[in-house]
Amino acid sequence: MAVVIDGKEAAASVISAVSEAAASLEKATGVKPGLAVVIVGNDPASHAYVSSKSKMAKQCGFNSVQHSLPEDTTQGDLQTLVSALNADPAIHGILVQLPLPKHLDADPVIQSISPQKDVDGLNTVNAGKIATGDLTSGLISCTPAGAMLLVKRIHGDDLSGLNAVVIGRSNLFGKPMGLLLLAANATVTMAHSKTRDLAGVCRGADILVAAVGRAQMVKADWVKPGATVIDVGINRVPAPDKGEGKTRLVGDVDFTQASAVAGAITPVPGGVGPMTIAMLMANTVIAAHRAAGQTAPNF
């Protein structure tokens, strides 16, 4: 039976380190890390996410600012707000909650966030730094950074000699995850829907990362015995045992099957999910240190 990698425990460890770093920064320089979260419209899931991020920021000792804009906000008004936050020295991290309402174009908004304040790590400047192997001067996208931290808990910092397969090639997760694994000396295969014999490719992986958005797609016979499996998927499936119309969360990996074969595996929920918000806090405190001319902590 596989070791279940506890993302909640790992995230709590990161949050504890972030809180200490924030307190020591404020004591040394008077600078309190500032995180601004922008949300447009009334999507209940987005509001729940934003609420949890704001609450965590306060727990870390940050100055947490939330801008809730109406559904009919224009592109110009949103860009104006981002520009004002870019110019505000008390704000070190800016996060625009996605998805935006359909009439708004997210990409120019994300790209207009100052790379130094882009705590989601989605600006092309930060993406480009990862691509060129610079993991120290930019801000790394939160979910891949969190998933990588879980990989390192099992294998350490140096992945030399290990084969890693990432299923999924999105700009948000798959591509940066592949680059982070490569930077740690793994031999990386990027797999996706057009990959021939996907199951066979996955069976060669010492580290298998699934990020495709298809519920329980990865079965036991896709997993090399003893492999580390990182499941990034979040899918809602019917759960008739809980009552009519009820659902439950599952990943892209069939956990019950795969955990019988894998050496280590992340659960869903409770695996990579908690790491995303923890790394958002880590990025904010890193950005605050840099803005204050201090050496940024490592996580």
Q: Give me 297's structure tokens.
A: 């902590």
Tokens linked to 193: 């829907």
5-59 residue pLDDT tens: 999 999 999 999 999 999 999 999 999 999 999 999 999 989 999 999 999 999 9
Beta-bridged to residue 166, according to DSSP, are 190, 209
pLDDT reported for residue 240: 87
Model pLDDT for residues 190-220, shown as the tens digit of each residue: 999 999 999 999 999 999 999 999 999 999 9
Residue 244 has pLDDT above 90, yes or no: no
How far apart are alpha carbons 63 and 36 in whole angstroms?
8
pLDDT at 187 (0 to 100): 98
Q: What tens digit of pLDDT does each residue of 112-171 get? A: 999 999 999 999 999 999 999 999 999 999 999 999 999 999 999 999 999 999 999 999
Mean per-residue pLDDT of the chain: 96
Give the pLDDT confidence score for residue 22 in this predicted structure: 98
- The one catalytic residue in 117, 118, 120, 254 is 120
> Is 53 an active-site residue?
yes
Extract the runs of DSSP E, i.e. beta strands, from the chain: 3-4, 34-40, 63-69, 93-96, 163-167, 187-191, 207-210, 228-231, 235-238, 247-250, 264-265
For each of the domains in the chain, give its residue range(s) and CATH number, in order of start: 28-122 (3.40.50.10860), 142-273 (3.40.50.720)
Q: Given 97, 118, 129, 252, which residue is catalytic?
A: 97
pLDDT of residue 242: 85
Q: Choose the catalytic residue: 53, 129, 175, 224.
A: 53
Indicate the pTM of the whole model: 0.95
Q: Does 1 score more than 90 pLDDT?
A: no
pLDDT of 245 > 90? The answer is no
pLDDT tens digits, one per residue of 44-94: 989 999 999 999 999 999 999 999 999 999 999 999 999 999 999 999 999
CB 292 within 8 A of CB 24: no
Looking at residue 62, its pLDDT comes to 98
Tell me which residue has tokens 């992945």: 159
User: pLDDT by residue (tens digit) across 248-272?
Assistant: 999 999 999 999 999 999 999 999 9
pLDDT at 241 over 90: no
β-strand partners of 35: 64, 93
For residue 296, the 8-state DSSP code is: P
